[in-house]
Chains A and B, each alone.
Chain A
Amino acid sequence: MKLLSVFALLLAILCPATSFAARQSSYELMTPENQAMQDDPNLNPAQFWVMDGQSLWQERVGKRNISCASCHGESKTAMRGVAVQFPKMVQGKLQTLEGQINQCRVTRQHAPRLAYESKELLALTVFVATQSKGMPIAVEETPTNKASLQKGRQWFDTRMGQLNLSCAQCHEDRAGLKLGGSSIPQGHPTAYPIYRLEWQNLGSLQRRLRNCMSGVRAQQFEYGSPEMAQLELFLMWRARGMPLETPGVRP
């Protein structure tokens, strides 16, 4: 019996919280009411942004006066399978989904870029991402993204801020334990953009990561910065295979 408990202890120490089999979306940590809010489109506040995104998809903008639909198609499923591949290397640059949308706006539509966390960018992002709902996150390590992935891993493991904590210390080593009444999630970005009850608004993964950084009193990464993209890449890679839940609801 004693040998068994020693073996179990060794196993627990050697296998990190997010070993493939033990990964868990923070959806599981929510109350049944909040889970129902996410699952039912008629109750999910994010659904309004999805509808806004659908309208924006068809809106002609910019000097070239074309819409997203002009190139990518009218259908609501034209973008199926796209969001689960991001962040990815596009023409030598690591792009997040928001970054790629802005890239299209500037280079194809000749329209100004949309500001991060603006209603329009959030609506377009959630409209595109919702089309991949239920699909497994498909970010893998490739020769081209290897260096960025390594940088992202470093950001995850590096202590930062006045509280001198790294992401890993809470979300890897202490996931499942409590911090001030809330359960510490593993921190997989499976549902972004999310309607966060805290914000009473839809928001991106980058906004949430900035919250984490202010939580440890660290200098926040800037929206759209290379550091953000690298960290996002690592987090999505860490969550590979998990189904996309967008649009999510989180407390």
Chain B
Amino acid sequence: MNKHTYPRRRWLSVFSLLGIGTWLNPVLVFAKKPEAMEAITKIVGSQVPKDGRVKLVIPPLVENGNLVVLKVSVESPMTAQDYVKAIHVIAEGNPLPNIFSAFLTPRSGTANITTRVRLAETQRVWAIAQMSDGSFWQGYAETLVTLSACTEAI
């Protein structure tokens, strides 16, 4: 091996390792997937949602992604002056990121919602809450979606 090819090979292996590392751990490298980001931008406009006040609970391991119980709780006094107007659930790994929305009123009492959603694959799910004062808050949960061993032959 002559002196000129050795450094190039070294750089090639460094960059390919970095690339593979990025590919293997996208959740750490990228903040949100692009379609999910677009869906969230459509909701919040130019604002940046703040972290906190929104608690999203989904089982950490799901036996079947067809029906996953999802609970959202948003901290709020729920008075006419200060209440949660809307809660939007965005799934990063689904073909369509918007999977569910709820619209509340000061008569709702609490901002606790339970529903059942479809999750296409292992992913992060976001809940964006829109407050009556126009601010946005966000929370997320990650889940592993598995499939039964003996599935149907279609």
Do A and B have CB atoms closer than 8 angstroms in the complex?
yes
Whether the pair B63, A182 counts as a contact (CB closer than 8 A) is yes
Whether the pair A179, B149 counts as a contact (CB closer than 8 A) is yes
Whether the pair B66, A197 counts as a contact (CB closer than 8 A) is yes
Whether the pair B59, A198 counts as a contact (CB closer than 8 A) is no
- How many Å lie between the Cα of A200 and that of B64 in the bound state? 10
Find residues 118-150 in chain B having any chain A CB closer than 8 Å to their own CB. 146-150
- How many Å lie between the Cα of A228 and that of B149 in the bound state? 21
- How many Å lie between the Cα of A182 and that of B148 in the bound state? 6
- How many Å lie between the Cα of A197 and that of B59 in the bound state? 15
A199 located at the interface, meaning its Cβ lies under 8 Å from any Cβ of chain B in the complex: yes
Contact bitstring A34-74, B, C-beta under 8 A = 1, else 0: 10110000000000000000000000000000000000000
- How many Å lie between the Cα of A251 and that of B152 in the bound state? 13
Q: Residue of B at shortest CB range from A29?
A: B63
Whether the pair A197, B149 counts as a contact (CB closer than 8 A) is no
- Decide yes or no: A30 and B63 within 8 Å by CB, A37-B69, A181-B146, A182-B146 being known contacts: yes
- How many Å lie between the Cα of A9 and that of B68 in the bound state? 40
Contact bitstring A195-222, B, C-beta under 8 A = 1, else 0: 0011110000000001110110000100
Whether the pair B148, A214 counts as a contact (CB closer than 8 A) is no
Residues of B within 8 Å of A214, CB to CB, are 150, 152-153
Residues of B within 8 Å of A179, CB to CB, are 149
Residues of B within 8 Å of A251, CB to CB, are 63-64, 148
Whether the pair B63, A34 counts as a contact (CB closer than 8 A) is yes
Whether the pair A211, B153 counts as a contact (CB closer than 8 A) is yes
Selected A-B contacts with CB under 8 Å, 20 pairs: A31-B61, A37-B67, A37-B69, A179-B149, A180-B149, A181-B146, A182-B149, A184-B149, A197-B64, A198-B152, A200-B66, A210-B152, A211-B150, A211-B151, A211-B153, A214-B152, A215-B151, A220-B153, A251-B63, A251-B64
A binding-site residues for B, Cβ under 8 Å: 30-31, 33-34, 36-37, 179-182, 184, 197-200, 210-212, 214-215, 220, 251
B binding-site residues for A, Cβ under 8 Å: 59, 61-64, 66-69, 146-153
Besides A180-B147, A198-B66, A215-B151, 6 more A-B contacts (Cβ < 8 Å) are A31-B61, A33-B68, A179-B149, A180-B149, A200-B66, A215-B149
